[in-house]
Amino acid sequence: MQTLAGKKILLGISGGIAAYKCAELTRRLIERGAQVQVVMTNAAKEFITPLTMQAVSGRPVSDSLLDPAAEASMGHIELAKWADLVLLAPATADLIARMSTGMGNDLLTTLVLATDSPIAVSPAMNQQMYRNIATQENIATLERRGMHIWGPAAGEQACGDVGPGRMLEPMQLVERCEQFFGDKPLKGKSVLITAGPTREAIDPVRYISNHSSGKMGFALAQAATQLGASVTLVSGPVSLATPTNVDRIDVDSAQSMFECVMDNATTHDIFIACAAVADYRPQTIAEQKIKKTDDSDQMTITMVKNPDIVASVAALKKSRPFTVGFAAETQDVEHYARTKLEKKNLDMICANDVSVEGQGFNSNDNAITVYWKDGKQSLTLASKQQIAAQILLSIAEKIEA
Binding site, residues? 279, 289, 307-310, 326, 340, 344
Q: Binding site residues for CTP, as ranges? A: 279, 289, 307-310, 326, 340, 344
Contact status, residue 244 vs residue 225, Cβ threshold 8 Å: yes
SS3 category, 390: helix
Helical (H) or strand (E) element with 249: strand 246-250
Please enumerate in sequence order all residues whose Cβ is within 8 A of that of 238, keeping only pairs 6 or more positions apart, or say none. 195, 196, 197, 212, 213, 214, 218
CB 360 within 8 A of CB 354: yes
Longest CA–CA separation in the chain, Å: 85
Contact 209, 281 (CB under 8 A): no
Whether 196 contacts 235, CB under 8 Å? yes
Please tell me whether residue 332 adopts helix, strand or coil conformation: coil
Which string of DSSP letters, residue by residue, matches 118-178? Answer: -EEEEE---HHHHHSHHHHHHHHHHHHTT-EE---EEEE-TTS-EEEEEPPPHHHHHHHHH
Backbone dihedral angles phi then psi of residue 215, each to the nearest 5 degrees: -60, -40
Q: Which of 22, 159, 177, 350 is catalytic?
A: 159
263, 264, 270, 271 alpha-carbon torsion, rounded to 10° = -50
Find residue 156's DSSP bridge partners.
Answer: 162
The backbone torsions φ and ψ at residue 156, rounded to the nearest 5 degrees and listed phi first, read -75, 140
CA angle 241, 281, 275 (to 5 degrees): 30
Name beta bridge partners: 249: 234
DSSP at 208: E
**SS3 of residue 276 by DSSP:** strand
Distance CA 27, CA 30 (A): 5
274 is catalytic: no
Contact by Cβ (8 Å): 155, 166: yes
The span from the CA of 260 to the CA of 281, in Å, is: 18
* 233/217 Cα distance (integer angstroms): 8
Please list the active-site residues. 159
